[in-house]
Structures are given as C-alpha cells and as structure tokens.
Amino acid sequence: MTDLHQPLQEQLASLAQELAKRGVPEDTYDNHSFLQSMAMPDPSSYYIELLEDHFSQSVGGRNKTAAAELKGHWQFFLLCLSGCALTHQWLVVSLTKNHYSSDRTLKKYGLKYSPTNHIVSYLKESGLVVAKKGAKYEGHPMRTRIYPTPDFAAQLMSFYLDTVESFDGDYLQFEKDEDREPVDNNDWAKTMKGLPKDHRDKVDMNLINEFLQAQQWACKGPVRLKYKQTPFHGGRLYTRYQQLPDKHFKIRINTLINGEPICEVDFSANHLRLAMAVLHQQDAGDTPYEDLMELSGVDDRSLVKAFMTTAMGASSKQGAQSSWNRRALGTENFVAIEEAVGKRYSELLLFDDWGFQAQNLEGAMLREVMLRGIEKDIVVLPVHDAVAVQQKHESWAMDAMSEAWDKHVGFGRARLKVDKPI
C-alpha cells in the first residue's frame, strides 16, 4: 500500500538539510509573521517532550497560575516558530509592556507581556534564535523579530503542518498596504466590523468557513477575505495554507485534503490575461509569458511573471523599479521585459495600479469556485490564483474555474494548468 505521507516527509527532510545554507529571511514586512494563538489537536510525543523540556527549564519558581500561563505561551512560540522555519519568515513580537493593554490583536489572542518577554530572553540566551531589536516600521509600533537557528528550526519545522487556527468568525479583514497611502482617511477597519450580517461578503465567507471547519488539511484555519486601501479595492482570499513552500521544496503539493492526495489547478498568466480581456477586449494568447521570454531574451519564466506582477501592481514606474531592485532581480531584466511587453502587447498600460482590480477579479472567481464546491461537497482551498482540490475532483475544478472566468470576465478564455505531487 502506498504511503501518502512519504513524499511529504522526504521534502521536509530535504528542506531541513538546507536550513543552514538558507540563512535568515530578508527583514521586510512581507517576511514578517506575528505571534498568535494556534493549537495542535493531536500533538506528537516528540512535540510534547520538546514543550516540556523548554517549559521546565524556564518556569523557575512561578506559582501555578503563572506557570500555566507561561506554558500556554510556550505552545504559541513553538508552533509560530515552526511556521517561521517552514515559510522562511521572522516572528514579530512586542517587548513593550503597554502594547499588551492597548493592542487589540494581542488582547484577542490572550498574549501577555511577562511570559512573552521571558520566553524571548530564554530563546536568545540559549542560542536558539537570531534576534533583531525592535525597530519602527511605518504604520506599526516597535517590535522585535526572532528567527530559529538551523538546528532549532529543524526540530520545529514539521509541527506547523498539524496546527489549527480558531474559526472565530473574523473572516473579513482590512490590511493596510505598506507601499501605499490610504485613498482617504476613513477607518476602513471599523467599517468592515460594522457591515450587516446579510452583506454578501459576510454571507459567502461564513458559508465557506462553516463548511471547511469540518474538513482536514495542513495548516487548517479559516479562509479570510483581506482588503487593502478600502473594502472595495483589492480584496483577496487568504489562508495560511497557501504560504507553504512549493518551489524549491514541494511541501504544499504533497499535503493531503481529508487524507487524499491533491492537485492544484492554476489560472495561467492571469493578471496579464485579465488586463488584456477587461481593458482591451483581447485574448492574450496561449503562451504570453513564453512569448515575452523570446522577445526579451530573458530565459526565466519566473522573472517574466515577477515583472508582470510588479509592473501591473505598481502605481508608478519608479515604484515598480524600486520593488524590483530591492529583490535584486536585475535592472537589465526589467528593461528587457518592459520593451518586450511594448512589442507584444502595445496597448497594455503598465504601472497603473491595475493589480488591485486583477486581485478583486481573482478573489471573486475563486470564491465562486469555493461556493460551487460546497454544493457538491468538494473541498476547495485558495492558493493565490489557483485552487487545491483532491485529485479526484481535478476535472470538476477545471470546469468550475473556466465557468467562473466566463461569468466574471466575459471576454476571451482562461488557460489552466494543473500541478500534482512529484
């Protein structure tokens, strides 16, 4: 009988061997993960031993209540750090005492200053983490960033796959875009909280999460609809699951849904196709990225994709270039691909902030597919501009995504590709 877990374990082992070479993540907001409440419903004996070991070494002479509080925080740290090791992100924690009485998120998760500060000190003194002192970054208070050292990361890494978040009903969220100023001064976060119960977004996301709560998959947690700038500008479906590695190490694609192997059905070159269809009533063709590779001489599809995402999501060429250069993707590549776009898609307007509208359309299409899946008792998980389903539902997912494109775009046709476990 085939062991469905073996390919995943092999990929995790390969990643563990590379942890030392990988180094620490770039210290940018996109690579920041925040301490939160997570649980492991069926913890392994190894996890229990590791938790007890660090707790016993750090509990000191605390009374019963304080000890229980510390142990609860240790669980949060171990599980959140396991996620950081797997997704290559810093864990951001506040070591400013008054934040714990004023920050709504810290209060929501029941996080306290004393155990948090004590655990961070222990981790640093034990040489288990790399730490960066709190620094002010725009729109956020001063926070400290920590990242597990390679040996510690290897111990923790697999825990994250078995973590579960609470389905707390908070499925619509406003998230400020770090690269842009808000379009006005309205407090959109409060607006989101005040939407009526029968608001379409609320109804849809409640239906989706009520269905998903009874299912099983890696990094189980709610699917949220996150908006940037305003609740009507740039909403996108989000779940922790989509952050799992899937390029150099095939972690996500080797996970299971309800104990069965999965596939991912992906809209190919979607932002470019959407722009050409919606703005210019043109079909982008069967191989748009490959066409641009040939015209630009850039023999790397991922660079072409990165350029299109950057250029269509930026509000100015300068902003796109700044983002591109921060990632050290090569000025010559930027110039070559931009020229190729001008030749192949001369009508396409770049650097016009259209990426938000593309995200809105993608979110609407994927939500449509998820809701149709509920009607058929099919689990559908959003993965950026793709969906993950059990392999037995591959054909259904392809039909559902094509129909969602036809409904929400109304011109041209989607091109789909399917990824399966190695």
Q: Which residues contact 250 (CB under 8 A, 6 or more apart)?
A: 7, 11, 421, 422
> Across 127-222, where does the E strand assignment appear?
129-137, 140-148, 172-174
Q: Which residues contact 188 (CB under 8 A, 6 or more apart)?
A: 174, 182, 227, 229, 230, 231
- Which residue numbers in the chain have pLDDT < 50? 1, 179-185
DSSP for 349-391 reads PPSSSTHHHHHHHHHHHHHHHHHHHHHTT---EEETTEEEEEG
d(CA 220, CA 206) in angstroms, rounded, equals 16
> So what's the pLDDT on residue 379?
98
> So what's the pLDDT on residue 191?
66
> So what's the pLDDT on residue 196?
78
Strand 224-227 and strand 172-174: the pairing is parallel
Q: What is the Cα 210 distance to its own chain's centre?
A: 21
d(CA 170, CA 203) in angstroms, rounded, equals 12
d(CA 6, CA 58) in angstroms, rounded, equals 36
> So what's the pLDDT on residue 353?
86
> So what's the pLDDT on residue 195?
74
d(CA 378, CA 402) in angstroms, rounded, equals 17
> So what's the pLDDT on residue 185?
44
CA of 74: how far to CAs of 59, 83, 104, in Å?
Answer: 10, 14, 21
d(CA 224, CA 272) in angstroms, rounded, equals 25
CA of 125: how far to CAs of 83, 118, 128, 129, 147, in Å?
Answer: 22, 11, 8, 9, 14
Domain boundaries, the chain: 6-162, 172-268+356-419
**Total Cβ atoms within 10 A of residue 18:** 11
> So what's the pLDDT on residue 183?
46
> So what's the pLDDT on residue 187?
62
> So what's the pLDDT on residue 69?
96
* Contact indicator for 107, 98 with CB cutoff of 8 Å: no
* Contact indicator for 298, 336 with CB cutoff of 8 Å: yes
Strand 260-267 and strand 416-419: the pairing is antiparallel
Which CATH code fits 172-268+356-419? 3.30.70
Amino acid of residue 299:
D
Which tokens go with 229? 């700038």
